[in-house]
Amino acid sequence: MLSKSLNCLIRTNAHIATQTETKMEKYNTMSLAAKAKEFKKYH
């Protein structure tokens, strides 16, 4: 019983970590796109 809940907890943590990484990637992509626009504007 204990190992079952532990596995569930680990899986949940992994899922949360994956979601966080995805959000960071989206944010990085957006900021890169914004910088590219700024760069094109001034060059």
Q: Distance from CA of residue 1 to its chain's centroid?
A: 32
Percent of the chain, pLDDT > 90? 33
**Mean pLDDT calculated for residue range 35-41:** 86
Q: pTM of the predicted model, to two decimals?
A: 0.54
- Helix (H) and strand (E) counts for the chain? 1, 0
**Mean pLDDT calculated for residue range 6-19:** 88
pLDDT averaged over the chain?
A: 87
pLDDT at 1 over 70: no
